[in-house]
Amino acid sequence: MQTYPTTRTNTTDLVRTFMARTYSWMAAGLALTAGIAWLTASNEVLALQVLNLRMPLILAQLALVFVLSFGAQRLPSALAGVLFVAYAALTGLTFSSILLAYDASAVTAAFATTAGTFGLMSVAGFVIKKDLSAMGRFFMFAVIGLFVAMIVNLFVASSALTLGISVVGVLLFAGLTAYDTQMLRNLALSGIQGEQAERAAINGALALYLDFINMFLFILRLFGIGGSRD
């Protein structure tokens, strides 16, 4: 009976340390993305060069996501960290076009709403008792369905479909935020430590970063109705 409180305290400390490390990586990535997006949008020559290289930059982003997602638990944590920072930087370059396409008020409102929603859903995922692991397959197919709908909308250009996609996108990535947070908490509860924990924290930061970024983009579309620049 003497060892239970100590074990429980140690587990709590491990979870707290792991989650703090994960959110630190995520916050650093978001800050880097926002900073580079603002600096790029503020420089007309650089912004034009980025627009001309938009497709290669997007392909580079996709390549980094695949490498990190499928190799994060095999890569050295230092290399995984460098790749995550590189991905956040590339995202900042491509996101500079958002600051040029939307009014600052729409971007600010979308970011604030995303931050609030992300925070609430992340807390919910951390404290909720219900096991969300069974939702993983649903979320995977939902993301695929959403992607297909977005491709279709490129050809039909339906405003109603755009609105529907945006609403579903917000709800989907809000749900994924809770799901990913719970999965990360469960991983921390397994007692992961050391180099393995650092790699897992970077991989978890990437998942949460993607949840935040995608939720922001869909919310921005909603706030940007009537708020985009001509």
Quote the pLDDT of residue 220.
93
In a domain, 100, yes or no: yes
Q: Which two tokens stand for residue 215?
A: 């939720």
Instruction: Identify the three-state secondary structure at position 34.
Output: helix
User: Is 207 a domain residue?
Assistant: yes
pLDDT of residue 14: 82
Q: pLDDT averaged over the chain? A: 86
Q: Do residues 222 and 170 make contact, with C-beta atoms less than 8 angstroms apart? A: yes
Of 37, 167, 24, 146, the C-alpha closest to 102 is 37
Residue 38 lies in a domain: yes
How high is the pLDDT of residue 87? 95
Amino acid 9: pLDDT: 59
Mean pLDDT of 152-165: 83
DSSP type of residue 158: -
- Going by the DSSP 8-state scheme, the letter that residue 76 receives in this structure is -
80: its two tokens: 């995984």
Confidence of residue 75 (pLDDT cuts 50, 70, 90): confident
Domain of 218? 3-223
Instruction: Tell me the mean pLDDT in the region 74-97.
Output: 91
Q: How many structural domains comprise the chain? A: 1
Under 8 Å between Cβ of 172 and 139: yes
Over residues 7-17, mean pLDDT: 74
3-state secondary structure of 129: coil
* Bridge partner list, 72: none
- What average pLDDT does range 197-214 have in this prediction? 93
The predicted model scores a pTM of 0.88
DSSP string, 170-213: HHHHHHHHHHHHHHHHHHHHTT--HHHHHHHHHHHHHHHHHHHH
| pLDDT category of residue 5 using cuts at 50, 70 and 90 | very low
Query: Is 151 domain-assigned?
Result: yes
For 7-16, 144-153, 210-219, which range has the lowest pLDDT when averaged over its residues? 7-16
- Tell me whether residue 228 is in a domain: no
| First CA to last CA distance, the chain | 69
| Structure confidence by residue, pLDDT tens digits, 91-140 | 999 999 888 888 888 899 999 999 999 999 999 998 888 888 888 888 88
Closest by Cα among 208, 152, 199 to 177:
208
Nearest CA among 146, 145, 115 for reference residue 208: 115
Rounded to whole angstroms, what are the CA distances from 202 to 8, 79, 136, 159?
25, 10, 20, 37
Helix (H, G, I), strand (E, B) or coil at 157: coil
pLDDT band at 3 (very low <50, low <70, confident <90, very high): very low
